[in-house]
Structure 1
Amino acid sequence: MNKDENFYHKGLRRYFEQASQQPHFFPTHLSILIALVQCCNYQDITLPFNVSRKKLMRFSRIKSVSTYHKNIRELKESGFIKYKPSWHPKLGSEVKLNIELEKNF
Structure 2
Amino acid sequence: MQGLNQQSSSRPVKLKTEDREDPRSSENNKQQNLLCAFFSAAEKDYRISSTHLGIFAALLHCREKQGSANPVRAYACQIMEISKISSPATYHKHIKQLSEYGYLRYVPSFKKNRPSCIYFLD
TM-score by length of 1: 0.80
Which residue number corresponds to residue 74 of structure 2?
A: 51
Asked whether the equivalents of residues 20 and 30 of structure 1 are also in contact (C-alpha less than 8 Å), the reply is no
Moved segments of 4+, more than 3 Å: 1-8
TM-score by length of 2: 0.70
Q: CA deviation at 1:88?
A: 2.2
Q: Which runs of 5+ in 2 are unaligned?
A: 1-21
Which of residues 98, 108, 113 in structure 2 aligns to 1:75?
A: 98
Q: CA deviation at 1:64?
A: 1.2
Distance 1:63-1:8 versus aligned 2 partners, 3 A rule: closer
Identity percentage over the alignment? Answer: 29
Q: Point out the more displaced range, 76-85 or 10-19.
A: 10-19
Pairs aligned (count): 98
Q: CA deviation at 1:11?
A: 3.2
Query: Whole-Å Cα distance in 1 between the matches of residues 28 and 115 of structure 2?
Result: 28
Q: Point out the more displaced range, 9-18 or 83-92.
A: 9-18
1:1-105 matches, cutoff 5 A: 3-42=26-65, 43-44=67-68, 47-99=70-122
The one-letter amino acid paired with 1:48 is P
Q: CA deviation at 1:34?
A: 0.6
Asked whether the equivalents of residues 50 and 95 of structure 1 are also in contact (C-alpha less than 8 Å), the reply is yes
Query: Whole-Å Cα distance in 2 between the matches of residues 5 and 41 of structure 1?
Result: 8
- 1:41 counterpart SS class: helix
